[in-house]
Structure 1
Amino acid sequence: MRLEVLDHGYSRGTKLLFRVIRLFSGHPVPDAARLVFYRPDFYGSRAKTFTHEAMRGPSAWSVGDRELMAAYVASVNESAFCIGAHSATASLSYQDAPRVDAVLADVDTAPIDERLRATLRMLGKLTREGTVSAEDMRAVLATGVSPQQIEDALAVCAVFNTTARLADAFGFELLDHEGYEAGAKYLLKRGYR
């Protein structure tokens, strides 16, 4: 059940921004954006900064790789909104929806680089179990992933474990295909600011 708190409590400026977004995009503002604007001093401003840095900051992982990590973490969490949003963004970034679908169906058989596969396995274990071992990290490093890439992947994992749980707690409204596509285009153009 969607919590109606996301429908109220915005400043006039934010309400105007939501109307402009709807006018130009043809779609209502997704609940993920509404949450960020709901309490910007408590959650939103910090979340935008951290998320943008994890997803668009300097990294050896491509934008598509990080969006795929977000979709994969969301799939482990069974968060329908986040799966839709980030699989659409990864698909658009890669220009390869079948690859994204294959990863979400079975990371072990998906047609992806072994470094990304090992990293996704590690993120999946961390998401499911809440812990990883030194052995898990050595397995990722053995594929050629750098320590910095592991840190970058862990940042994505932290962001989307939090976001997926918030999406489910607030009951984010699912979008149709066109809504997820519009969101993906926005995220690829502007990031998470």
Structure 2
Amino acid sequence: MDEVVVHHADLVAALRRAVFESAGETDPALRQAVGAGDPVDPVWAAYAEKVRTSSHRITDADVAALVAAGRTEVEIFEVTVAAATGAALQRLDAGLRAAGGDVRLGVVEHGHGLPARLFLRIARLVGGGERMDDVVTTGLHRPGLWGRPFFALVEAVMRGPSFWTPAEREYLAAHVSRLNECPFCRRAHTETTRLESRGGFDLDDASSVRPELAAVLPLMERLTAAPDALSAADVVAIRQAGVPDDAVVDALHVALVFHTANRMANALGWSWDSDEHVRAAARAIHRTRYRLPGIVLR
């Protein structure tokens, strides 16, 4: 690939700046080191590495150990965001190079500003009593650090102009979430895949999607398991299947979103109350196209 038009570059840059440079209870230098996988204070090191590499193995005990060591919930949240975002950005960068009572932090449930609190209350009323899903609730906490730039990126990546249909992007989301062993995101995006494809896509059968999408799945798997081993050879078969370069880049950005969200979900213990809660969230995504009112993200 001689030249790649990198879609969403401004949104990705805004996310980087917010997560790694904005003021917070933790030093930006710590967040930068955590995001890069560089050596950090031993108190943080094991937890940050677990978020980056095996977030599905995080337990309440991991968070309790940090609290016992004197770390605040806000500090833990900031480090979690930095580790999850850093791991996801590492995979995006690698892909672009190759292509040319389980609530663990109560602060993300209760530390919202007034507009966010009102939005969550109204959303619950109009949603038939179902609470707002955890990804939105978390995003509305400290929106300047993560939620605002992340949701702007999500809306553009998942519903903006693309070679891939919304159903195909949901399929990629569910596929990456399965690879990362993230039950929260896998359940939600399996249901959104069903809605957007009108039942036409089967996550267990790649032949249910068009060949171009099926050709991208091995890249998603390699990107998840061994991003540093990616090379231009991994993109050859995708091109041969008729996938244009811009579509490869778009798929990498879907992966960026869910490599971040999967780690956040696993580390923070995001969960669903019931199958109906999952279906309600999927219907909301279908209806709103990932758009949140700007006022609640201030």
TM-score, normalised to structure 2, is 0.60
- Amino acid aligned to 1:128: A
CA RMSD of aligned residues (A): 1.3
What CA distance in whole angstroms lies between the structure 1 residues aligned with 2:242 and 2:203?
25
SS of aligned partner of 2:202: helix
Native 8 Å contact 1:115 1:144 kept in 2: yes
Deviation of 1:161 (Å)? 0.3
Is contact 2:139–2:146 with CA below 8 Å preserved after alignment?
yes
Match of 2:181 in 1: 78
Give 4+ residue runs of structure 1 displaced > 6 Å after superposition.
Answer: none
Equivalent position to 2:251, from 153, 159, 177: 153
Deviation at 1:6, TM superposition (A): 2.0
Tell me what 2:204 maps to: 102
Aligned residue number for residue 123 of structure 1: 220
Confirm whether residue 23 of structure 1 aligns to residue 120 of structure 2. no
What CA distance in whole angstroms lies between the structure 2 residues aligned with 1:32 and 1:139? Answer: 35
Would you say how many aligned residue pairs link Structure 1 and Structure 2? 187
One-letter amino acid matched to 1:130: P
Counterpart in the other structure of 1:37? 140
How do residues 147-186 of structure 1 correspond to structure 2 at under 5 angstroms?
147-186=245-284
Q: Which residue of 2 aligns with 1:2?
A: 103
Q: Does 1:63 align with 2:166?
A: yes
Distance 2:154 2:208 in 1: 27
Question: What is the distance in 2 between the residues matched to 1:88 and 1:183?
Answer: 9
Aligned residue for 1:174, secondary structure, equals coil
The percentage of counterpart residues that share the same residue type is 31
Scaled by the length of structure 1, the TM-score of the pair is 0.92
Larger-Rg structure: 2
> How far apart, CA to CA, are the structure 1 residues paired with 2:203 and 2:244?
26
SS at match of 1:116: helix
| 2:202 and 2:208 in contact (8 A); partners too | no
The answer to whether the 8 A contact 2:191-2:278 is kept is yes
The answer to whether the 8 Å contact 2:175/2:203 transfers is no
The reply on whether 1:46 has 2:152 as its aligned counterpart is no
Q: What runs of 5+ residues in structure 2 fail to find an aligned partner?
A: 1-101, 292-298
1:8-54 CA-to-partner distances (Å, cap 9, x unmatched) read: 11112211111111101021011100111011111011001111111
Deviations 1:138-171 (A, max 9, x none): 1111100000000100000001000000000100
* Post-superposition offset of 1:128: 1.5
Aligned to 2:267, the other structure's residue is in SS state: helix
Say whether the 8 Å CA contact 1:81–1:174 is kept in structure 2: yes
Contact kept? 1:80, 1:174, Cα under 8 Å: no
Structure 2 CA distance, aligned partners of 1:135 and 1:33?
Answer: 38
Q: Partner of 2:236 in structure 1? A: 138
Q: Offset at 1:125? A: 1.2
Separation in 1, partners of 2:183, 2:198: 21
Q: Structure 2 CA distance, aligned partners of 1:25 and 1:179?
A: 9
Q: Which moved more, 1:31-40 or 1:181-190?
A: 181-190
